[in-house]
């Protein structure tokens, strides 16, 4: 069964617009911060995450994220080691995908 449109991201976008354009100007100043936080939360929720091929690439380096973390701590992916570039690229890609949802502006 296909989901009824408008889909959740569109609903959140229009609801956010109402919040910022109609409600926020009418709120007392001490409630503005809370309203902006709600708008921010809705923006994050509206951006969906794409897994990509991170799982497969992680599997080539370590059994899971925890062992990747342990191996990094032990120096197994230091500059000069064979898999340094692969590990750096995987962390970049995973983090970029996480930023696209949580903090797109951080990507510059």
Interatomic CA distance for residues 6 and 18, integer angstroms: 16
CB of 21 to other proteins, least distance (A): 20
Q: Which residues bind other proteins (CB under 8 A)?
A: 34, 37-38, 40-41, 44, 65-66, 68-70, 72-73, 75, 77-79, 87-88, 91-92, 94-96, 98-99, 101-103, 105-107
Q: Which is nearer to other proteins, 19 or 99 (CB)?
A: 99
Comparison of 12 and 68: residue with beta carbon closer to other proteins: 68
Closer CB to other proteins, residue 5 or residue 29? 29
Task: Provide the minimum distance between the beta carbon of 5 and other proteins in the complex, in angstroms, as a whole number.
Answer: 27
Type and span of the H or E element at 31: none
Buried b (16+ CB within 10 A) or exposed e, 30-47: eeeeebeebbeebeeebe
Sign for the pseudo-dihedral over CA of 106, 77, 85, 91: negative
């Amino acid at each position: 069964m296909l989901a009824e449109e408008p889909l959740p991201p569109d609903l959140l976008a229009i609801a956010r617009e109402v919040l910022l354009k109609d409600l926020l100007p009418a709120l007392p100043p001490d409630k503005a911060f809370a309203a902006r936080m709600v708008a921010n939360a809705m923006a994050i929720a509206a951006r969906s995450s794409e897994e990509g091929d991170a799982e497969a690439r992680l599997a080539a380096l370590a059994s899971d994220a925890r062992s990747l973390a342990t191996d990094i701590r032990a120096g197994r992916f230091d500059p000069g080691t064979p898999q340094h570039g692969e590990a750096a690229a995987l962390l970049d890609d995973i983090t970029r995908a996480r930023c696209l949802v949580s903090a797109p502006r951080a990507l510059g």
